[in-house]
């Protein structure tokens, strides 16, 4: 059974806010904080059995996403969501230092209350909290296809919301790269109605790869730290690979393509051309006939399309390589191609 107390203790700061998009609503509790969608909240539980109450207004059909993270190990966040009749709509279980209410669809226009407490009502510590809706997030940043964004998650539980319009049938590639080696990139994609479509989390780079957007409308993309407990800089790449099969140019290669170097034989430099069907991490290495690596002339993320790189005929130590036969190998995350060339001093 849901434990309620006649008096709810809130965090040390008390801020009464007017709900975005609706009228202010009365709070029947002795202490209560009104919050906006998208507002990142910091709180502190000081004693056993302490409960914090946050109130917000929402509409029927809203898809809720609520996440709480503890920044102190003794506190295990526990959430309970109530409607105006005090009926429990969602209760999170034991989640250690992180918990969430995910993809809850509200049935009525109402004033809702979120209770934050320790799981066993016997812990204390700091926490961060965010209440968001995925069908109509606020705030949100509109983005276009073929965009590269660099941004920073600056506080725990911070969600970066991006939205984009699609006519339906687009195939997209979305990547979130950790630039500071401090966060675990987490990408979530939601339909125009706010329903979760797909997600990906990784310790270095999260990728939503070759995903087809079936329905027309405004989609929502959320970029965050996987456990909402770290901050750091990231890079977001958002590409449209194709609208449908009819729009793919049959004259362009649809697979990795490595061209013959030019000139060949060469002295002292030569150019190597290759084609990438999609953005990714690319390595280009030079080997001698014994299979020994002579040099690495490329190791970075590149966009889809044609690329050219020059080799100066020098080894990794900067010394001119001897005359002879060499092999250059191009490697991506899912393909490898190798060609032969001749250096003549």
In a domain, 7, yes or no: no
pLDDT at 243: 58
DSSP H/E element including 173: strand 170-178
In a domain, 279, yes or no: yes
Residues of the chain with pLDDT under 50: 1-25, 27-30, 244-249
Are 124 and 157 contained in the same domain? no
pLDDT at 242: 65
What are the b/e assignments for 252-282, b being 16+ CB within 10 Å?
A: eeeebbbeebeeeebeeebebebbbbbbbeb
Residue where one domain finishes, among candidates 104, 133, 162: 133
In a domain, 64, yes or no: yes
Are 107 and 161 contained in the same domain? no
pLDDT digits over 96-130, tens only?
A: 788 899 889 999 999 999 999 888 888 788 888 99
- The residues near 5 (Cβ < 8 Å, ≥ 6 apart) are 49, 51
Residue where one domain finishes, among candidates 196, 224, 247: 247
Residue 82: which domain range?
Answer: 33-133
Q: Residue 316's domain is classified under what CATH number?
A: 2.60.40.1930
Are 171 and 211 contained in the same domain? yes
* Burial label, 116 (beta-carbon count in 10 A; 0-12, 13-18, 19+): buried
In a domain, 15, yes or no: no
In a domain, 19, yes or no: no
In a domain, 182, yes or no: yes
Residues 125, 70: Cα–Cα separation, whole Å = 7
Q: Residue 86's domain is classified under what CATH number?
A: 2.60.120.380
Are 242 and 150 contained in the same domain? yes
Tally of domains within the chain? 3
Residue where one domain finishes, among candidates 219, 247, 275: 247
Q: Give the CA-trace dihedral at 13, 40, 154, 223, to 10 degrees.
A: 170
Q: How remote is the C-alpha of 80 from its chain's centroid?
A: 26
Q: Is the pTM of this model over 0.95?
A: no
pLDDT digits over 28-84, tens only?
A: 444 578 998 988 888 888 888 888 999 999 999 999 999 988 876 678 899 999 999
């Amino acid at each position: 059974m849901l434990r309620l107390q006649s008096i709810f203790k809130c965090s040390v700061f008390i801020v009464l806010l007017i709900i975005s998009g609706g009228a202010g609503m009365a709070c029947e509790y002795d202490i209560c904080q009104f919050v906006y969608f998208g507002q990142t909240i910091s709180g502190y539980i000081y004693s056993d059995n302490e409960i914090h109450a946050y109130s917000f207004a929402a509409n029927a059909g809203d898809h809720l996403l609520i996440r709480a993270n503890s920044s102190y190990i003794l506190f295990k966040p526990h959430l309970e969501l109530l409607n105006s009749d005090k009926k429990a709509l969602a209760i999170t279980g034991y989640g250690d230092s992180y918990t969430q209410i995910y993809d809850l669809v509200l049935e009525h226009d109402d004033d809702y209350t979120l209770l934050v407490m320790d799981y066993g009502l016997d812990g204390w510590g700091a926490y961060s909290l965010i209440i968001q809706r995925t069908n109509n997030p606020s705030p949100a940043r509109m983005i276009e296809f073929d965009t590269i964004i660099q941004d920073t998650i600056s506080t725990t539980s911070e969600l970066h919301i991006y939205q984009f319009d699609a006519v339906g049938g687009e195939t997209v590639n979305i990547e979130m790269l950790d630039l500071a080696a401090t966060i675990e990139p987490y990408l979530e994609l939601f339909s125009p109605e706010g329903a979760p479509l797909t997600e990906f989390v990784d310790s270095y780079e999260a990728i939503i790869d070759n995903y087809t957007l079936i329905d027309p409308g405004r989609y929502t993309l959320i970029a965050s730290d996987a456990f909402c407990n770290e901050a750091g800089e990231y890079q977001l790449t958002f590409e449209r690979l194709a609208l449908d099969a009819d729009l793919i140019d049959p004259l362009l290669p649809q697979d990795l393509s490595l061209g013959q170097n030019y000139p060949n034989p060469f002295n002292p430099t030569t150019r190597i051309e290759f084609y990438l069907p999609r953005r990714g991490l690319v390595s280009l290495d030079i080997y001698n006939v014994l299979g020994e690596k002579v040099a690495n002339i490329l190791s970075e993320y590149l966009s889809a399309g044609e690329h050219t790189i020059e080799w100066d005929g020098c080894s990794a130590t900067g010394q001119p390589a001897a005359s002879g036969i060499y092999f250059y190998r191009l490697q991506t995350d899912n393909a490898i191609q190798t060609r032969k060339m001749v250096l003549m001093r």
